[in-house]
Amino acid sequence: MHVLVIEDDPTMAEVMEAYLKREGHEVTCAANGQKGLDLFRSLHPDFLILDLMLPDLSGEAILTAVRKDFDTPVLILSAKSAEEERVQGMVLGADDYVVKPFSPREVIVRMQAIMRRVGKRDTSEVWSFAGKALVIHLRERTVSVEGSEVHLTPIEYRLLTAMAAHPGWVFERAELLERVQEDLFFDGYERSIDVHIKNLRKKIESDPKHPRFIETVFGMGYRFKGERDV
């Protein structure tokens, strides 16, 4: 995996880099929060190791920004050991939390445990469905239908990528609401998801009344049924 380590302690960062490389991972290190976030957005790493107490941008702010658009596994390293601080880290979207001081070997083992839980992430930059009838470019955050780019709102893009990441899964409206409302103006009602799905279908479906990609599962929610191209 490509692992991004955001850690302002140079000794700690060097030790983690050595251990990770010994395990066969590619490693990039950042010594402050803003640089780390910029590297995350440009490199799209497979795993993020994040210190919370950084000299500029806090680890909590970085995690919040990451979780807006990505489900990259995140392991927090922090000297903050109070229960409420550890709980807050998990609530913000961390996959695990390790309190300093710690053994680098423990971090490696916890990383392995996280990857076993989440399974192999799809880290490709382009998702293509139904013979390239629908193509999602994750880095550029663009969507093309039958070769022509369509312009989605941030909410529509989040809805599409959330469902397309798991073809065949049934998403309840409440779950979709949680995925799209972060830091966006949103009325907060589950049924408003129906309006956004309707608008999304108009943009990606050739026949919105008989959708090819986003299927309504009556009484439950929605399912993405597009077949992923090999």
Q: Which fold has domain 126-224?
A: Arc Repressor Mutant, subunit A (1.10.10)
1-20 confidence digits (pLDDT tens): 899 999 988 998 999 899 89
Domain boundaries, the chain: 2-118, 126-224
pLDDT (tens digit per residue) in 64-118: 888 887 878 899 887 765 666 667 767 778 888 888 777 888 888 888 888 776 6
Asked whether the whole model's pTM tops 0.85, one would answer no
Q: What is the mean pLDDT of the chain?
A: 84
CA–CA distance, 74 with 60 (Å, rounded to integer): 12
Q: Which residues pair with 48 in a beta bridge?
A: 4, 74
DSSP calls for 101-127: S--HHHHHHHHHHHHHHH------SEE
Contact status, residue 86 vs residue 111, Cβ threshold 8 Å: no
Class of the CATH-defined domain 2-118: alpha beta
Q: Is the pLDDT of residue 135 over 90?
A: yes
Q: How sure is the predictor about 187, in pLDDT bands with cuts at 50, 70 and 90? A: very low
